[in-house]
Chain A
Amino acid sequence: MTDVHIIGAGIHAFGRHDDKTGLDQGVFAVREALKDAGLDWTDIQFGFGGSDAAGNADAVLPRLGLTGIQFINVKNGCAAGGSALLSGYWAIKSGEFDLGVVVGFDKHPRGAFSPTPADWGLPEWYGETGLMLTTQFFGNKINRYMGLHGISATTLGRVAEKAFENGVRTPHAWRREAIGLNAIMNSRMISDPLTQYMFCSPAEGGAALILASDRKMRELGLSGPKVRGAAVRTRVNGSFEVFSPSLDVERGPSPTQMASKAAYEMAGVGPSDIDVAQLQDTESGAEIMHMAENGFCADGEQERLLAEGATRLGGKLPVNTDGGCLACGEPIGASGLRQVYENVQQLRGRADGRQVADAKLGYSQVYGAPGLSGVVILEA
């Protein structure tokens, strides 16, 4: 089977853009990706597109050109963008196509997501009594983790502090001002122990990648990071997910642990080989727990690692070099592709002001409702 490379990457800055639709931002990202690769839309053989709340991804076609290509809308919870990438990856890996685009974009209303119990197969009383908030899930999960593994609230604050520091250096980030540790710790409590600045916000943005087979890439005289491993996994009995009125007493692995293991096996590498990582940081606690779930440390080691600055730029393993969801916000359809976009910049040596020296292997992990995780490992 052929190798798959990312030969172009484009992004529309994340944040709030009142004058643009989600679709506008997706189309912009595709054009940027094409420009990056030096290709025309008419070169593209297929597309996969993810959008959760900003309409059909397929609506990019009339703007980019009705060339008749296979284009498939991907809707897969918080991993919509990551799933679009996986679909494109397999389309080329299978030998069926050798040049395509994956795009993700979104535009969410301000404030917390507002779910309906019936949409989740849950009874009305669950929402009525005030148990159906995503923020509660995150508070519950990290509170237990902190209790079991000795993580302090200060460490949660350090994650957010780092995110905003990195956001200052990132053109596509939304929040581009540093926020001090004290201000983070003392901001409004949302769901204990998580404060306002420890949570990301729903946002807007778009990201797109051009994928090519090894042969096609060489034929075009182009280059780009190789996809060494890619996997999406969903929840099993015993994993702890959002909107769960009950959990199994017998605990099981998380979808992140499963996707991570699968991607490492595909890539034939381990966590110690990774130079730069983008990990889902819906809130500070998620980044802490995902460091362990993706194999980068043992449970509890984060307390020391964060204090040492191991995950900052210049540290042993820089995490979320573009500020992650905390600094960029989370447009669901685009979020997983943003992570991969950032790794492409890092591996191509283009991450001005936030470049990880000699980055050869980049790792990204997107996670979210209803309990799925997608991991991609890229090699320069």
Chain B
Amino acid sequence: MALAPIADGLFEVVEGVPHLIGGRRKSDGRMVFPMPAGPEGQNYETVRLSPDGRLWSFTVQRFRPKSPPYAGADDEKSFRPYALGYVELPGEVIVESRIETDDFTALKVGAPMRLKLVPFQKVGGDVLAYAFEPVA
């Protein structure tokens, strides 16, 4: 069974390729991610963002974040450190994301990255989230 997305309007799959959904402000063209919700969203048009980019910065989360807001189904014992960072989508926007890799030491600013949709083990059941992974 397909997993439900962690939030509506965050990403979409077009012809088998996942895209994040950003917003372009109508007044000045400034691009943001995610697409703003509610009344603020009326000032933006949706943009299907490129799935390919380059690593702009990164770090590794070494301890289990506090809950709330963190809602991972893991606990102190089962928690596994994860990489995260920013990926520059050329000419669009720089987005924050988890980075899917087991080799933290191989991460380098400028490395090519590609978007994928990944299951996230959330309290109450798995959902579909997004991440970038190094392009081999």
List A residues at the B interface (Cβ < 8 Å): 111-112, 114-117, 123-133, 136, 139-141, 143-144, 147-148, 188-193, 237, 244-249
Contacts and interface: CB of A to CB of B under 8 A. Distances in A.
A140 B57 contact: yes
A189 B65 CA distance: 14
Contact of A189 (B22, B62, B90, B92): B62
Contact of A246 (B32, B66, B82): B32
A140 B94 contact: no
Nearest to B9: A123
Nearest to B71: A128
B57 A143 contact: yes
22 contacts: A112-B66, A114-B68, A116-B68, A125-B6, A127-B69, A129-B6, A130-B70, A130-B82, A140-B57, A140-B58, A140-B86, A141-B57, A190-B62, A191-B60, A192-B59, A246-B31, A246-B32, A246-B95, A246-B96, A248-B31, A249-B31, A249-B93
Nearest to B60: A192
B115 interface: no
Given A125-B7, A136-B59, A131 B88 contact: no
B132 to A, nearest CB: 13
A15 to B, nearest CB: 23
A129 B92 CA distance: 23
B62 to A, nearest CB: 5
Nearest to B69: A127
A201 B22 CA distance: 35
A246 B22 contact: yes
B84 interface: yes
Interface in B49-69: 56-63, 65-66, 68-69
Given A139-B59, A144-B56, A144-B109, A129 B120 contact: yes
Contact of B98 (A129, A132, A247): A129
B70 A127 contact: yes
Contacts of A144: 56-57, 109
Contacts of A115: 69
B59 A131 contact: no
Given A140-B57, A245-B96, A249-B93, A124 B7 contact: yes
Nearest to A146: B109
A244 B96 contact: yes
Contacts of A139: 59-60
Interface residues of B, number: 46
B117 interface: no
B62 A192 contact: yes
B84 to A, nearest CB: 6
B84 A136 contact: yes
Contacts of A148: 109
B129 interface: yes
B26 interface: no
A237 B70 contact: no
A127 B129 CA distance: 13
A370 to B, nearest CB: 16
A117 B88 CA distance: 23
A139 B84 CA distance: 10
| 5 shortest interchain CB distances as A-B pairs | A127-B69, A139-B59, A144-B57, A128-B71, A246-B33
B70 A191 contact: no
Contacts of B63: 190
Contacts of A189: 60, 62
Contacts of B71: 127-129
Contact of B69 (A124, A143, A248): A124
A238 to B, nearest CB: 10
A131 B95 CA distance: 12
Interface string B93-107: 111111000001000
B57 A128 contact: no
Contacts of A132: 65, 69-70
Nearest to A132: B69
